[in-house]
Amino acid sequence: MVILFILSYGQERALFLTGFITLVSGGAVWIFARPGIHIGASGLIMGYFGALLLDAYRNPGLMTILIAVLTLYYLSGLFFNLLPGGKGVSWEGHVFGFIAGGLAVCLWRAIFKS
């Protein structure tokens, strides 16, 4: 469902967000995370989550706020994944993904002014 919200901004922006979040969060996990096997797409999902929320904050409009409200309503449980949890869960990937999503929104606005 979160990808549908991302795609509502357009295919070009969705591809930019996906690539940026994947590279930045993956690189940050590779450099800064604890030793172990970090696998899965949860960093990307958390990046989308962060991007949707920060976009509504930085660029308030009817569409962005509506999407942020729906995101919070359906996916608010994702906030708990930002904290260290169970053994074997890469919470670092979640945090770096969330941060990368916020950075992606800021970079998109700075480059494309939209």
Tens-digit pLDDT profile for residues 47-69: 999 999 999 999 899 999 999 99
Residues of the chain with pLDDT under 50: none
Task: Give the single-character DSSP code of 82.
Answer: G
**pLDDT (0 to 100) of residue 34:** 83
**pLDDT (0 to 100) of residue 86:** 74
Query: What residue spans of the chain are helical by DSSP H?
Result: 2-7, 11-32, 42-58, 62-75, 91-112
**pLDDT (0 to 100) of residue 114:** 58
